[in-house]
Amino acid sequence: MSESKEKAGLSRRSFLGAGAVGAGLVGAGLLYRAIPASGDEVLYAIEAPGTPGGGEPVPVLSYARTPAAPAALPPVLDVRQGDTLSVHFHNAMARSTTVHWHGIRLPIAMDGVPFLTQNPVARGEAFHYRFAPPDAGTYWYHPHYASLDQIGAGLAGILVVREADDPGYDADIPLLIRDWRRDEKGAWLPVSDPEAAGRAGTFGGWHTVNWEREPHYQVPSGSLVRLRLCNADLTRVFKVVGKGAPAILVAVDGHPLVAPEPLQRELLGPGMRMDVVVRMPDNPGEVFELHNVSSSTPWVMMRLVSQGMSRRRALSGIVPLPPNPVSMPSVDRAEVIRMDFNAGLGEGGAEDALWSINKRAWVERYPEERDGMVLPVLPGQSFPEVRAAVCGGGTPLAVLKQGRSYILELNNFTPHLHPIHIHGLAFSLLSSSRRSIRTGHFTDTALLLPKERMRVALVADNPGDWMVHCHIIEHQAFGMMGTIRVDA
Ligand code: C2O
Ligand code: CU
């Protein structure tokens, strides 16, 4: 697409950028963004007072483009499919961290897993993340270091990979969905309750979208609006419905559905995303709402409000997004690898293991820190030694040969849901022991229902040691975590 054609396309479309959210800013909330040909970003992790969900300021962690920024919603990073995203990351927090690019098929050295793919970025240190996302869609970024504390305190932002050809929606609104562990007065509650950690996990009571309670955004009447939902919550599996206007699900976890379909009580587990296109009502002031109905008391997540003359867009304008370049697994010849997800520890598991994969528990444990600097586990221990100590011993759950197809049989032996996420590879869902599932598209997370067995298929085309873990962060932190190795 030529420069001028792209600019023309973009001036039709609005893209909601960070810093322009919230009911108070709605009039000016839709920004026309000038998008650079290739993303070159500076990103800081900061500790500062912030007001996620409102109330009095509390100390939060966030990402920002300048170190002195007040702590607000982390910026929406965006890059065009195939272009290079270059992020000069600086850690301005008094603790170590890393940045993981959730769902992106990238080189292992950019994956942001401490000790496994890089050393932690200590206070005052920097790391240059640089990769070209092959797949368009909605992704996100978050630390993979002390995840419970750091994501819990605010570190999670959206990464949009734009289609090479603009699909032509009238507005594009990323929605970072999460709860916060704050009490009625707004004070922080402990991020994890030890008893809940061994069950469904610890829930937050402050429900937000883009760090606001029930935000609303004004969009043109009769327009087609792309919503990019990202569940950045540590715990909650949302069940999402749309009210007031037709809403069509077009992509899941970044990857397009083969055929768009009406949004119907769609489960969105921690870490998962979905792209929904809404055909706004024709009359100004008419409203579309997203509701969460996963709990006995449903709530409104956010609203869109029609504004101005109707654009009279046709629902039939919602066509499948172009497929991403993911290799199709050849299922008949695939080797089957079994993964059992259990409560409790396996033999030799650590005593604080509440969860396991194949009877092995990797509990998220970190070396001591002093003044934001990581100290080796034992005096004089080198990082490879630390790595062996903190990375579940470092032995992968399975070793895959590059280029081959595999079927993973995921067995949930627990009475809880587990969104099982795999780094660096995209897979397709084949079958479930409990329900008919949507197939044909790719994804990075399999949401296992209680006692469900699911088969998924992938081509092991990206070499490295890739994390496999539940994205309910307490399950991850307390043992439901491991790696699969793709041998070059
Ligand atoms: Cu959101 Cu290990 O990932
Ligand atoms: Cu889990």
pLDDT tens digit sequence for 436-468: 999 999 999 999 999 999 999 999 999 999 999
| pLDDT at 388 > cutoff 90 | no
Pairing of strands 442-443, 427-432: antiparallel
pLDDT band of 377, cuts 50, 70, 90: low
Q: Within 10 A of 7 (CB to CB), how many other CB atoms are there?
A: 11
First and final CA of the chain: distance in angstroms? 35
pLDDT at 269: 98
Distance 193 CA to ligand 2 centre (A): 15
pLDDT at 364: 81
pLDDT at 352: 74
Instruction: Give the whole-angstrom CA distance, residue 302 versus residue 212.
Output: 9
Q: Which atom of ligand 1 is nearest to the CA of 469?
A: 2
Q: Is the CB of 423 under 6 A from ligand 1?
A: yes
Q: Is the CB of 102 under 6 A from ligand 1?
A: yes
Q: Which atom of ligand 1 is nearest to the CA of 142?
A: 1
**DSSP structural state of residue 473:** H
Which pLDDT tens digit goes with each residue over 72-122? 999 999 999 999 999 999 999 999 999 999 999 999 999 999 988 998 999
Residue 282, both tokens: 């024709």
Q: Which atom of ligand 1 is nearest to the CA of 140?
A: 1
Distance 102 CA to ligand 1 centre (A): 5
Distance 474 CA to ligand 1 centre (A): 12
pLDDT band of 23, cuts 50, 70, 90: very low
Q: Which atom of ligand 1 is nearest to the CA of 113?
A: 2
More confident site: 393 or 155: 155
| pLDDT at 341 > cutoff 90 | yes
Once rounded to an integer, what is the mean pLDDT over residues 477-486? 94
Q: Which helix (H) or strand (E) holds 246?
A: none
pLDDT at 368: 75
The DSSP result for 123-134, as a single string, is TT-EEEEEE---
Q: Are 430 and 382 in contact (CB under 8 A)?
A: no
* Residue where the block lists tokens 């221990």: 381
pLDDT at 2: 35
Q: Is the CB of 144 under 6 A from ligand 1?
A: yes
| pLDDT at 34 > cutoff 50 | no
**DSSP structural state of residue 122:** -
| pLDDT at 35 > cutoff 90 | no
Distance 141 CA to ligand 1 centre (A): 8
Q: CA angle, 192 as apex, 187 and 197 as ends, to 5°?
A: 155
Which pLDDT tens digit goes with each residue over 189-239? 999 999 999 999 999 999 999 999 999 999 999 999 999 999 999 999 999
Residue 52, both tokens: 């996620």
Instruction: Give the whole-angstrom CA distance, residue 419 versus residue 269.
Output: 6
Q: What is the mean pLDDT of the chain?
A: 89
Q: Is the dihedral of CA 413, 443, 252, 77 positive or negative?
A: positive
How large a percentage of the chain has pLDDT more than 90? 79
The answer for 148, left when phi > 0, alpha when psi is -120 to 50, beta otherwise, is: alpha
More confident site: 347 or 339: 339
Once rounded to an integer, what is the mean pLDDT over residues 408-432? 98
Instruction: Give the whole-angstrom CA distance, residue 203 versus residue 421.
Output: 20
Q: Is the CB of 232 under 6 A from ligand 1?
A: no
Distance 152 CA to ligand 2 centre (A): 16
Q: Are 420 and 341 in contact (CB under 8 A)?
A: yes
pLDDT band of 350, cuts 50, 70, 90: low
What stretches of 218-311 show up as alpha helix (H) in DSSP?
Answer: none
pLDDT band of 317, cuts 50, 70, 90: confident
pLDDT at 365: 76
Least distant ligand from the CA of 473: 2
**DSSP structural state of residue 60:** E
Instruction: Give the whole-angstrom CA distance, residue 411 versus residue 402.
Output: 24
Q: Is the CB of 273 under 6 A from ligand 1?
A: no
Distance of CA 60 to the CA centre of its chain: 19
Distance 271 CA to ligand 1 centre (A): 7
3-state secondary structure of 109: helix
| pLDDT at 429 > cutoff 60 | yes
Distance 471 CA to ligand 1 centre (A): 7
Give this prediction's pTM: 0.92
More confident site: 366 or 334: 334
3-state secondary structure of 215: coil
| pLDDT at 36 > cutoff 50 | no
Residue 310, both tokens: 């109707």
Residue with the smallest CA separation from ligand 1 atom 3 is: 102
pLDDT band of 382, cuts 50, 70, 90: confident
pLDDT at 14: 45
Residue with the smallest CA separation from ligand 1 atom 1 is: 102
Residues 6+ apart with CB under 8 A from 247: 262, 263, 276, 277, 278, 279, 288
The answer for 451, left when phi > 0, alpha when psi is -120 to 50, beta otherwise, is: left
pLDDT at 363: 85
pLDDT band of 271, cuts 50, 70, 90: very high
